[in-house]
Chain A
């Protein structure tokens, strides 16, 4: 298909858009439109689509502008809230990472030292302040003290971290 626009198309367009076609057109222009394929197509398409526009405009179903305005205001406010919440969420993630790193370092360090502080606890129980020897079972030495203290500690840490994340992300 070759693109060869007609020089008189603009003239036809102006008359169509002003609503004066064919009344204000010259017989010569009307004869040209009948003979020129570009102008004939232009006329047919413009008249058809403008007629369709008129029909559609009349059948348009409009909502209340107030409702749309309110919706836009609500969305804009939510967007602003999200903008404010972004750095806060970042801070939460950072705090969580730091907490996990510290907890990890603590666990590694304690596992290397063999949980020395537990021996202090054992000595404490033998001190004069505490006469709890009968309470300590003979099996106490057989218990894996590392696991006994570390597991509840880690479990508590995980529960608290989960709670922290939940509180940080809960928007309701």
Chain B
């Protein structure tokens, strides 16, 4: 028996069918166009692995579409998407045999401008010295401009903890960035 013919008959009524996605193709294409690049930037910078960012971004969108949730607007949907991506990153780091981010080439984020390229390398090195959770918090707060409450929603941490963790992470990465800048000045 082919169950594809059975399921539509089982699920009758006003409730949307389990096989239906909450967003139609056109609406999703628009949402994807607006949210994919920032999401990829977040995943790529926090993981320091653009290939991994590609995979996790795809998975994030598939999970986002499969999730049964009410349509509560673009901002909330975007936040939810970042939450899925954050959880996927966390799952990835929990798995053994992941590549060390120190070994990954910075050229992956290379730009044509030399000074920009150097700045990207410095940031990459500084981020590599940070803990994964700190990288997430820093990116969400400073690159995505999320509030502490929103970061708490995305990461699952408490708002009060985020304030302190972010303060420490910011101080730490600032020190790393300054160290690298002073080393570069000494070399010149």
| Residue positions of A touching B, CB distance < 8 A | 1, 3, 5, 17, 40-42, 44-46, 48-53, 55-57, 59-63, 65-66, 68-69, 71-73, 75-77, 79-81, 83-85
Contact = CB atoms under 8 A, between A and B. Distances in A.
Interface residues of B, number: 52
A60 B41 contact: yes
A84 B29 contact: no
Contacts of B173: 45
B88 interface: no
B123 to A, nearest CB: 5
Interface of A is mostly: helix
B61 A68 contact: yes
Interface of B: 3-4, 6-7, 10, 18-21, 25, 28-29, 32-33, 36-38, 40-41, 44-45, 50, 54, 57-58, 61-62, 64-66, 109, 111, 116, 119-120, 123, 138-139, 142-145, 163-164, 167-168, 170-171, 173-174, 177-178
A84 B10 contact: yes
Nearest to A5: B167
B163 to A, nearest CB: 8
A59 B65 CA distance: 25
A69 B21 contact: yes
A69 B18 contact: no
13 contacts: A44-B174, A52-B123, A56-B109, A57-B37, A57-B41, A60-B36, A65-B32, A72-B65, A72-B66, A75-B66, A76-B19, A76-B66, A80-B18
* Closest 8 A/B residue pairs (Cβ): A72-B65, A56-B41, A41-B174, A60-B40, A65-B32, A53-B143, A49-B142, A49-B143
- The CB with the most chain A CB atoms within 10 A, among B64, B123, B173, B174, is that of B174
B170 A41 contact: yes
- The CB with the most chain B CB atoms within 10 A, among A17, A53, A63, A73, is that of A53
